[in-house]
Structure 1
Amino acid sequence: MSSDRRKFLRNLAFGSGALAVGIPSFGATDAEKDEALQRTYEWAGQGQRFNMSGYAAPKIDKVRIGFIGLGMRGPGAVERMSYIEGVEIKALCDKYPDRATKAQDFLTKKGLPKAKEYSGEDGWKAMIQNEDLDLVYICTPWHLHTPMSVYAMQHGKHVACEVPIAVTMDECWQLVETSEKTRKHCMMLENCCYDFFEMLTLNMARNSMFGELVHAEGAYIHDLRDLNFSKTGYADMWRLKQNMTRNGSLYPT
């Protein structure tokens, strides 16, 4: 993947790039700004296809969803979506067919229409290709998040994906550029936004209890050793393997 735009943004951050390409000043006319921005894009080597910031896709009266990954987090996602009005669960996919069947049983017990089941190594591709879906909801091992998200957007589907949605900077750029090209929303899901700890910390910050904030990082103690070392936990112990081969923040949200 081309990294021209990435280099361009990095240069802007250091300031010299902005001066070199002539970013328009606040006092410039609209025509001058347009001309300067065009020169900037030409210098970067790749113009932005479309700015997704503030963009809202056309309204969808009934959102048809297909799920990929029904092991640890997927079943809970299916249940949550089943309570939302205007949602239709159209397809269920997992590498292991019994997991898709188990999620199907939940829909049956709730009296909801039967969803199409997919399984196997490439079942997710068949689901994306064959089903008329508005949204693909991804709950798979981390290294599959970006390939599945990109594939879904390329086939005209919006994406909601568990964290982390990417594991490299190149994958982040791939997601951004695919979203811009297809004009499909790509949302990295967050698990804990509004519970006690998050709302308490937000309220404390708003009341200046930490003074002037210039930088903040947050994390929580999440001991997963039992699951990571269990042969019946994460499929093929994929999460333990991620912890063995990666460093830094393994679960950025």
Structure 2
Amino acid sequence: MTGPPRKDILRIGLIGVGLRGTNHLRNLLLRDDVRVTALCDIDPGRLEPAAGMVVEAGQEPPATFGEHEHSYRDLLDLESVDAVVISTPWLWHTPMAVDAMKAGKYTGLEVSAATTLEECWDLVDTHEATGTHLMLLENVNYRRDVLAVLNMVRQDVFGELVHFRCGYQHDLREVKFNDGKQPYGGGVEFGEKAISEARWRTLHSLRRNADVYPTHGLGPVAAMADINRGNRLVSLTSTASKGIGLHNHIVARGGADHPNASLKFQQGDVITTTLTTARGETIIVTHDCNLPRPYSLGFRVQGANGLWEVDGDRIYIEGESEPHRWDAAGPWLERYDHPLWKKYGEYASGSGHGGMDFFVLHAFVQSARLGVAPPIDAYDAAAWSSVTPLSEQSIAGRGEPQDVPDFTRGQWIRRKPYDWIKDTY
């Protein structure tokens, strides 16, 4: 597909300027190749300060929208918007992205991209029907250690790849319950009585027994395994532990008599998904967000000649490491530091999430300016996000295997791996 001609200045509209959208806005306003021309949010407490940020940055006042839930469509009608960044609650991601692509706007979409298999196909079908590109804004693909290990994979340091582990292991109880009255995370309210992400995120744990947030872990290993580009996800099985973490949090903070203490949360506290690939690798993805624990994405990359594990910060390479003993990963990661981090690392350091946010937006802006396919495209968004509905089906079937659709319709055989080294597209 051919895109529009190169744009020296990319005019961007942001749909959703909550905490995540405001961080994107802040980083976009630092660029001299971007103009923020429009904003949309139904919360005036978020919309007005965001518009002020644009003016304070020396740009023209943006058009603003937010009268009702579908006001974003008025933003999409603007000729002064070339591309959009969508940072809204999960259930709005696919509908908004589909509308944006139909409107011809280069679309940046926060994770996860979709919540059902139908939505996964909607993203792919709309991209193919319109020729408009979508980039999933998965920032962990740009984490410094992740890109260094990808660099090692591309240079065959680990040998033929065999197995991966990853996931999202992050105590989010302080995010899922926030009434705005206690110190952040001190409350036990969600839904209409809560603020920020607690207004919508916790409802997924209440109603779905699934890995609802797979892409932070799966995205980076999918890039290493060439998923959708010479390889593909074939099947998965999922299991879920019992779910007690959120109930315990409510009782500990609000008491056994609190109304929310009687709720039955459907989501298991630890959800384990095992994926198989066409080339024979296995990938274990873990979702663990409702129990007390330190943060980790649990990465493990294992090949015929060695492996890297993020927990323990350790690595082993046959023939270079002392037999049967781990090396500290630091010197290896420094040795294979990714060219993008060498070039932009100092500049990116203040952008959020350890610098990852600069790189994912940089790739989005560069791709959109040139009208070319992004590094993480609609097929990736669909394949990675499909873990949510498929894990739900597998858990409901007591671990019954589920086929992962081929969202590329056979093109994965011919698609070449993306060149993550390049800076210009």
Superposition TM-score, scaled by structure 2 size: 0.44
What residue is the counterpart of 2:396 in the other structure?
none
Any conservation in 1 of the 2:12–2:35 contact (CA below 8 Å)?
A: yes
Answer whether contact 1:228 1:234 (CA < 8 A) is retained. no
Q: How much does 1:252 deviate?
A: 2.4
Distance of 1:182 and 1:203 partners within structure 2: 34
Q: Give the aligned partner of residue 145 of structure 1.
A: 93
Q: Which moved more, 1:235-244 or 1:68-77?
A: 235-244
Q: Distance in 2 between matches of 1:155 and 1:202?
A: 35
1:85 CA displacement: 2.3
Task: State the one-letter code of the partner of 1:90.
Answer: T
Residues 235, 95 of structure 1: alpha-carbon distance in 2 compared, 3 angstrom cutoff? farther
Q: Find the aligned partners of 1:195 and 1:71 in 2 and give their Cα distance.
A: 23
1:198 is the counterpart of 2:130: no
In structure 2, the partner of 1:34 is none
Distance in structure 2 (CA, Å) of the matches to 1:243 and 1:131: 39
For the residue of structure 2 that corresponds to 1:193, the secondary structure is helix
> Are positions 1:252 and 2:200 aligned together?
no
1:78 is aligned to 2:56: no
User: What are the Cα deviations for residues 45-83 of structure 1, in whole angstroms up to 9, with x where unaligned?
Assistant: xxxxxxx5xx55432222111101111200000111112
Give 1:125's aligned residue: 73
1:87 and 2:37 equivalent? no
Instruction: Quote how far apart the aligned CAs of 1:136 are.
Output: 1.3
Secondary structure (helix, strand or coil) at the match of 1:85 reads coil
- Name which of 155, 159, 175 aligns with 2:107: 159
Displacement of 1:129 after TM fit? 2.2
- Using the TM superposition, give the Cα deviation of residue 243 of structure 1 relative to its aligned residue in structure 2, in angstroms: 2.2
Q: Distance in 2 between matches of 1:220 and 1:151?
A: 29
Cα deviation 1:201-226 (Å, max 9, x = unaligned): 43564576756323424224222110
Structure 2 residue identity aligned to 1:77: H
Unaligned runs of 5+ in 1: 1-51
Distance in structure 1 (CA, Å) of the matches to 2:139 and 2:111: 9
- 2-structure distance, mates of 1:199, 1:163: 19
**Per residue, is there more strand in 1 or in 2?**
2
Corresponding residue for residue 222 of structure 1? 170
SS in 2 for 1:103: helix
RMSD: 2.2
Within the candidate set 123, 126, 130, 1:182 is matched to 130
Q: Retained in 1: the 8 A contact 2:175–2:198?
A: no
- In the alignment, which of 65, 69, 72 is matched to residue 12 of structure 2? 65
Aligned length: 200
Comparing both chains, which one has the higher relative contact order based on Cα–Cα distances under 8 Å and sequence gaps of 6 or more? 2
In 2, distance between residues paired with 1:70 and 1:154? 22
Secondary structure, in 3 states, of the residue corresponding to 1:214?
Answer: strand
Deviation of residue 161 (structure 1)? 0.5
Quickly say closer, same or farther: Cα 1:237–1:205, change in 2 above 3 A.
same
AA in 2 matched with 1:147 = P
**Distance in 1 between residues matched to 2:5 and 2:79, nearest whole Å:** 20
- Structure 1 runs of 4+ aligned residues shifted over 4 Å read 203-211
Name 1:108's counterpart in structure 2: 55
Instruction: Verify the 8 A CA contact 2:175 2:197 in the aligned structure 1.
Output: no
Summarize deviations over 1:73-114 as a string: whole Å, max 9, x none.
000001111122221100011011221111112122222221
Counterpart residue identity of residue 241, structure 1: L
AA matched with 1:146:
T
Instruction: Give the conservation status (yes or no) of the 8 Å contact 2:13–2:83.
Output: yes
In terms of fraction of residues, the more helix-rich structure is 1
Partner in structure 2 of residue 48 of structure 1: none
The amino acid of 1:118's aligned partner reads F
Determine if contact 1:91/1:131 at 8 Å carries over to the other structure: no
Q: 1:65, 1:91 within 8 Å by CA — same for their partners in 2?
A: yes
